[in-house]
Amino acid sequence: MVETRKDIVKFIRNIIPSDIPETYPVIDMFNSIADSEKIRKGVLAFRELLYMICDRLMDEEELYLSSVKKSRATSFHPSLPVSFPFLNNLKSILYNLGYHGEIDNNSNTLIVNDIGLITSTVGVDGRKMKAKISTPKLIDALKFLDSIGFEFVNLNLDIKPSRMAEIKSIEIKYSMNVDLFVGIKVMSVAQEKLFAKGKHDIFLRCDYREIMDQVIDSYDILNDYLKPLDDKVRNFVLALHRRYTNQNLTCKVDVFYLGVRVIYSYGNNEVWTFSASHNSGYRILIKAQKKNMYLDFIESFPKELKEVISRGYGCNKKLFAEACQKGCHGYSFLLDEAILKIGGNIQTWLDMEVECLKNKGKILSTSS
């Protein structure tokens, strides 16, 4: 379980794409904002801003971050508005600036004609929530943005909260990178227009893939999410990806709140999943449903692996009095160096499961 907001900030930084190509086609719907080259530069600038925000929050944890409110709900699906309000305020303000602001290219200024528009808190889908950012918290967040390069041209950040109502519009500059406002606007529009189930927080993750006018190889997406892992562990997971997509398993990327899953299925049957989440780390989840058909193979596995299999899977907290390991989605294995010792066994296990699914419960041969 996350004990400080620093942990969630580190996780968010890790799921922001580290390798954004310099050239890619952009969906036509964004052409009214800027040309494709300007958009690509803007997205890169926005990614760098998010990195800067995350680094600053982690470096100055005591100033900006404090312990998380623990509750049953936020333990499993962290809610930024409830558990991480300062970070959510920053996200909401930036989103609102991008979505409601107008860019003056002559002065490289972002103008919002109604300051009240930036006080709406924003959910994972980009839609406004009922709660508003209070004036004192709004000023705190704007001061943070000021400290990382934003210039609020017509707003004195030492203003008394009671006088904020007098401010009707705001003008903002960011001289560190004049392309930033285009990136913020493009990603906020992407959040609003392209959000769908399994595509939470497009804006906060700077998911440039959503604005690309081309199909992206799932291998590249997985590789991006695996970047924080050791090279050998990453290559192990990528090899499993290749092996089972070559065997006609479908691959679906699912982002729910701040959890990432890459789900591999044969027909309607989930077989295994790569999972990354703030509270259970990076894992492989195996949803084996045919294991009784190949128990003789399982008997050849190492003792510790057989013990995991024999106890079954389910909610770790309810069944085993353990911290969340995503056990409700399958047998759960942490992706660290220990996984390499049983990697061959896991591949054999998956081979048997897939063969049973393909042949309706029959093992016809031993996969290599």
Domains of the chain in start order, with CATH, are 5-197 (no CATH), 218-358 (3.90.1150)
User: What are the b/e assignments for 290-322, b being 16+ CB within 10 Å?
Assistant: bbebbeebbeebeeebeebbeeebeebbeeeee
User: Residue 254 contacts by C-beta under 8 Å, 6 or more apart in sequence?
Assistant: 198, 260, 261, 262, 263
- Asked whether the beta carbons of 43 and 22 are under 8 A apart, the reply is no
Counting every residue, how long is the chain? 368
Residue 263, phi-psi category: left (phi > 0), alpha (psi -120 to 50), beta (remainder): beta
Q: What is the DSSP letter of 111?
A: E
pTM listed for this prediction: 0.88
- Asked whether the beta carbons of 261 and 273 are under 8 A apart, the reply is yes
Report residue 30's pLDDT band, with 50, 70 and 90 as the boundaries.
very high
User: What are the b/e assignments for 111-126, b being 16+ CB within 10 Å?
Assistant: bbeebebbbbbbbbeb
User: Out of 1-10, 51-60, 75-84, 261-270, which region has the weakest mean confidence (pLDDT)?
Assistant: 75-84
**Half-sphere exposure at residue 212, Cβ-oriented, CA atoms within 13 angstroms:** 14
> Does residue 2 have a pLDDT over 60?
no
The stretch 216-220 carries a mean pLDDT of 93
Distance, in Å, from the CA atom of 177 to the CA atom of 313, rounded to the nearest integer, reads 50
Distance, in Å, from the CA atom of 27 to the CA atom of 12, rounded to the nearest integer, reads 26
Residue of 70 and 134 predicted with greater confidence = 134
Residue of 320 and 40 predicted with greater confidence = 40
User: Out of 82-86, 181-185, 320-324, 359-363, which region has the weakest mean confidence (pLDDT)?
Assistant: 320-324
Distance, in Å, from the CA atom of 135 to the CA atom of 160, rounded to the nearest integer, reads 9
